[in-house]
Chains A and B, each alone.
Chain A
Amino acid sequence: MKSVSKTKFLSLALLVSCAQLDAADWLMLQGSQPEMVAPKGVSVPYRSKIPKLWGFIQANYKNDRGDVQISPTGVNQTPFSLLNPDLKDQSGFNVFRARLALRGMADDENLVNYFFMTEFGNSGVNNLAGHREVATYFTDASVTLKHVPYAKLRVGMFKTPGSEEGLQAVFVSPYVEFTTMTNQQLLERQVSDVGAADPVPAKGGAAASNIHYTSTSVDQPIAAFRDTGAQIFDTVPVSDTWAVTYAYMYGNGNGVSMKGSDKQKTHYGYLALEDNFNDKRGYFHESMKFYGWIQDGKRTLLSNDGITTTEVNVNRQRYGVGMTYYQNGLRFEAEYMKAKGMIFTGAKDKDTDPLKEDWQFQYAVGDENTADGGYVNLQYEVVPKKFEVFGRYDIMDRLPNDEKAQRKFKTATLGLSYRFKGATRIDVNYAFRDAKAPGNSNAQKVLDNMGDRVSVQLTAAF
């Protein structure tokens, strides 16, 4: 009898320690409900059947200090001087995110969890580059099964394993805008209908070098770091404080679009090793983490040259390595990312009316194309969990394999943040932005219009 009690006790202790290991692990935090909870300080198994309703609102004011250049043909050449998501103006207030979510346990034993989230804000999910028709209003709907030890299964639409910047809960970061590499190469703008190849590929060549396409319609929301598919994942403790997190996902490759086809099938892999310094959960969990990730998928474009439509299949690869550290109010993050195959090369105005824009998206396709970049980020809480100062430096080298098309971006962002409570706060950002076109003087003249950007954002999380 004594040995049974001891076994039960050791099991409970192990369960408690395991439950605490998922503290800063976004895959576990987003994909499963905790094994144990302690709302009043006493650890008890999570068995609540009441759905947890939560959400957040992010409203901001931005002012871009660059210039707008309209070509003699009436085309706006400077999308980088205009504000997301609709690329219409250089300053204004915007409710960028307004999300409402439900999550919880769908059985009696906490072995079946669910996660559902909507988006009502004026963001790329509902108004990508001014294309209001893409709106889906929801971003997440998934079910997680936890029956197999150390191999949880999540099925549905949810954030894919990948970059820390994309994987972390978006409302916790004091940065109003993503880094250039993440914004352009990870935050996928998906298109199907494109025009003729530019230049026309050589006969017999599949995806010849330096082939670019421009979309003819934008009818899908931004992918928002998400996809529909199935993911096996978990966190495995390897010592008292160290834990390994792994994930493999097979996805349709359609982002948050309403599509049930896996024609653009994409494989996602993630591995992280984390030393946990304390047992807090989420953004304020103190730990040191090293991680790597890879995404490898197919994309299908339907190219119409005005006469016939041709199916073009291209590869899209993304991978990266990084680390995070947070202790005693000091946060350091660094990540290096690389993109290969299909490379996003910016928005292009197709409307010749100088007062109107029809933004379409441009891509370089072909396996020879690359882009790489990354960031280093330093944050310090001057008053713990109240007042924070921070700075981030990020770069991207886009298409270094193509002299004319190569662009180099550098952004340094400085800011401060005041937290009212938890994630409810005000953030002020100032971004020093610069871009170069080393082998293209005409493009450089356009890029010289790029200016700095000021952002003030209020976040209310509940």
Chain B
Amino acid sequence: MKFKKIILTIIAVMMMITVPVMAEEESDVVKVAYPLDFADVRRVHFMLNTLNNLVKHYQKNLIDYEISIVAYGPGVQYTMKDFKGTGYVGKPYLTHGGPVNNGTQGRMDTLKQLAGDNLRVFVCENTMTKKNVKKEQLQPYSEVTPGGVLKLIELQKEGAALIKIR
């Protein structure tokens, strides 16, 4: 009996030591999720501004990070390269305008090159079905996820900070 108590105590002490360490290890990776569910191009440029700042900060300070953009609803247009037969229309602001006049697509490409695999772009399959968007019509870096909101919930559960651009 005494031996059993000793064993339990040791296990409890080990847990007290180990769990915070594990938690600390998880918190070393900064996770951020951006919902892209709006059409307003000014908001998209603002979102890209904040993303640029984040990526530069984390890279400069050698901080591990995982940024996810989750596109659904009107925001899916910003992850597309071909609009034919879809419920979206390719607008000039995708390729023109913005700080260096390369549009939202040009800025997304630059950002993706800068961040590499630390930046992932998820596109809602429900929206794609509704708006008749095929996977091959998306930008090559886009990843299809069954539901945009589901993905956001999942990312939040994993500890991602949700940044909603207004």
User: Of A36-44, A98-106, A130-138, A446-454, which stretch is located at the interface?
Assistant: A36-44
| Contact indicator B85/A41 (Cβ below 8 Å) | no
* A42 to B86 alpha-carbon distance, docked (Å): 9
Among B50-100, those with CB < 8 Å from A are 74, 77, 83-91, 94
| Contact indicator B87/A40 (Cβ below 8 Å) | no
| Complex interface: chain A residues within 8 A of B41 (CB) | 40
| Contact indicator A13/B85 (Cβ below 8 Å) | yes
- Given A9-B132, A13-B132, are A40 and B39 also a contact pair (CB < 8 Å)? yes
| Complex interface: chain A residues within 8 A of B94 (CB) | 41
Closest to B93 in A: A41
| Contact indicator B132/A41 (Cβ below 8 Å) | no
| Complex interface: chain B residues within 8 A of A38 (CB) | 88-89, 91
Residue in B74, B83, B86, B130 whose CB lies within 8 Å of A40: B74
Q: By DSSP majority rule, is chain B's interface helix, strand, loop, or mixed?
A: loop
Question: Closest CB of chain B to A21's CB: distance in Å?
Answer: 13
Interface size on A, residues (CB 8 A): 11
| Complex interface: chain B residues within 8 A of A279 (CB) | 83-84, 89-90
Does B40 sit within 8 A of A, measured CB to CB? yes
| Complex interface: chain A residues within 8 A of B88 (CB) | 38, 41-43
| Contact indicator A40/B85 (Cβ below 8 Å) | no
* A378 to B34 alpha-carbon distance, docked (Å): 49
Does A12 sit within 8 A of B, measured CB to CB? yes
Q: By DSSP majority rule, is chain A's interface helix, strand, loop, or mixed?
A: mixed
| Contact indicator B85/A42 (Cβ below 8 Å) | no
Among B1-59, those with CB < 8 Å from A are 39-41
Does A17 sit within 8 A of B, measured CB to CB? yes
* A9 to B129 alpha-carbon distance, docked (Å): 9
* A13 to B84 alpha-carbon distance, docked (Å): 10
Q: Contact flags (1/0) for A18-47 with B, using CB distance below 8 Å?
A: 000000000000000000001011110000
Question: Closest CB of chain A to B118's CB: distance in Å?
Answer: 27
| Contact indicator B85/A17 (Cβ below 8 Å) | yes
Does A16 sit within 8 A of B, measured CB to CB? yes
* A85 to B39 alpha-carbon distance, docked (Å): 47
| Complex interface: chain B residues within 8 A of A42 (CB) | 39, 74, 77, 87-89, 131
| Complex interface: chain A residues within 8 A of B131 (CB) | 42
- Given A9-B132, A42-B74, A42-B77, are A16 and B87 also a contact pair (CB < 8 Å)? yes
Among B91-148, those with CB < 8 Å from A are 91, 94, 130-132
* A416 to B127 alpha-carbon distance, docked (Å): 46
* A365 to B148 alpha-carbon distance, docked (Å): 72
Question: Closest CB of chain A to B73's CB: distance in Å?
Answer: 8
Residue in B74, B77, B85, B130 whose CB lies within 8 Å of A16: B85
| Complex interface: chain B residues within 8 A of A16 (CB) | 85-87
| Complex interface: chain A residues within 8 A of B40 (CB) | 40
* A14 to B69 alpha-carbon distance, docked (Å): 31
Given A42-B89, A42-B131, A43-B88, output 16 extra A-B contacts at Cβ < 8 Å. A9-B132, A12-B87, A13-B132, A16-B85, A16-B86, A16-B87, A40-B91, A41-B74, A41-B77, A41-B94, A42-B74, A42-B87, A42-B88, A43-B86, A43-B87, A43-B89
**What are 27 A-B residue pairs whose CB atoms fall within 8 Å in the complex?**
A9-B130, A9-B132, A12-B87, A13-B85, A13-B132, A16-B85, A16-B86, A16-B87, A38-B88, A38-B89, A40-B40, A40-B41, A40-B74, A40-B91, A41-B39, A41-B77, A41-B89, A41-B94, A42-B39, A42-B74, A42-B87, A42-B131, A43-B87, A43-B88, A43-B89, A279-B84, A279-B89
A residues with a Cβ closer than 8 A to B are 9, 12-13, 16-17, 38, 40-43, 279
- 10 smallest A-B Cβ distances: which pairs? A40-B39, A38-B89, A41-B77, A41-B91, A43-B87, A42-B74, A41-B88, A41-B39, A13-B132, A42-B39
